Amino acid sequence: MKIFKRKSDLVSQIKWPRSISFIPTMGSIHPGHVSLIKKAKKKKRRVLVSLYVNPKQFNSKKDYKIYPRNFKKDLNILKKHKTDYAYLPNNKEIYSFKPQKGIFKHSIIKELCGKFRKGHFDGVLNVVNRLLEIVRPKYIYLGKKDLQQLYLIKEHIKKMKIQTKVVPCKTIRLKNGVAYSSRNINLKKKEINIASKVYKYLINIKKNLKRKKNFRFNQRNISKELINLGVKKIDYCECLNNKSLKKTENYKVNFNIFIAYYIRKIRLIDNI
């Protein structure tokens, strides 16, 4: 595996045309990331994983500082899974140039996480836009756990006519249903159990919405039950159409329950 820290080295050694499958991460590689690597390798193209904790998508300096980092461990995992390239830029490498493409912000940027984390998705789109210009991949692999983020990146790529195809990948979960996340490292065992109860409760709500004609999504009652399960705070809990990310009461269509909640001070997101 070749490791790049400088943009110039990456650009010179991975020459055009680049048939690259790209997986952007903030490190803390977990089985969810590994599943993206495995799926990308099935295409029999070279796989590049970036490890970069982007300061511009954090709402507070404290959250940025405590974000879990272990790049040495990450690189060992990437090597184990035969990743071709790893890119570990610093802030200067990412933000010292002016991108050729602007940023397209779909109106959904103000909803869900965008409503509670001001500027978060601006930071995400900014860094992804820059990474795409540096790497120029044929494919970018993104998990569905953060479906809003995936949606915004896909719309940006489409609107700005960037020659990269988005490959959505299913959410990978622990046996207890909890979605893998870098932030799970900060949870204690009993808190993981609370997250598991949240997942199981919401999956049951979804089943009832599909099966029972008179069953409706009652946000207030659901929020009360989640608090009783041990959740400290809920930013949002909504039933949305997966394609448009708009509220729906048509439970025959492809929909999920989207949620952002806190266990202690740890914020978790999911769509179930």
Could you say which of 30, 33, 106, 156 is catalytic? 33
SS3 of 193, please?
A: helix
Contact 198, 229 (CB under 8 A): yes
Burial class (CB in 10 A: 0-12, 13-18, 19+), 192: middle
Contact 46, 19 (CB under 8 A): yes
Contact 4, 86 (CB under 8 A): yes
What are the strands, taking DSSP E only, across 26-105? 46-51, 85-87
Catalytic residue check, 33: yes
Q: Kindly list the distances between the CA atom of residue 136 and the CA atoms of 18, 82, 203, in Å, as whole numbers in the listed order.
A: 7, 21, 38
Active-site residue set? 33
